[in-house]
Amino acid sequence: MTDYQDQLITILLKIRLAFSMQTLSEADTEDLLIRQSLVWEEILINKIPINDLNNCYIKAMRTRTTTFPLTPQELIMAYNEITAENYKPQIYECVFCKFEIKTKGEKPCQFHKRVKDTL
């Protein structure tokens, strides 16, 4: 079993507890969690890094409005929201007027570029 599957089993167990799902025998529960973790791993493995899984679970659980059990797609949506919140675009400044531009390097802004081209 991979570390990713171990993390997913922990999350799947939390989901079962949070939604008061029917309890099964220990053997049945273990078998079910392993099978579910394999399915979830197929969906999530290249979408959410292992270190972010629990944060995505928490965000998804805190923001959801339905009483149905959590789905892998909701973890992906939570991950996308978390990464969007943490994204800060690179902003550069015009070397002449310090106007913010999004082009890398010491380039003039659109106004100063036109002025420079006419000289």
pLDDT tens per residue, range 39-82: 999 999 999 999 999 999 999 999 999 889 999 999 999 999 99
Has this prediction a pTM greater than 0.85?
no
Contact 41, 77 (CB under 8 A): no
Contact 49, 56 (CB under 8 A): no
Position 98 pLDDT exceeds 80: no
Q: At what angle do helices 3-18 and 26-44 cross, to 10 degrees?
A: 120
Bridge pairing between strands 92-93 and 100-101: antiparallel
Residue with tokens 């036109």: 114
Residue with tokens 């003039």: 108
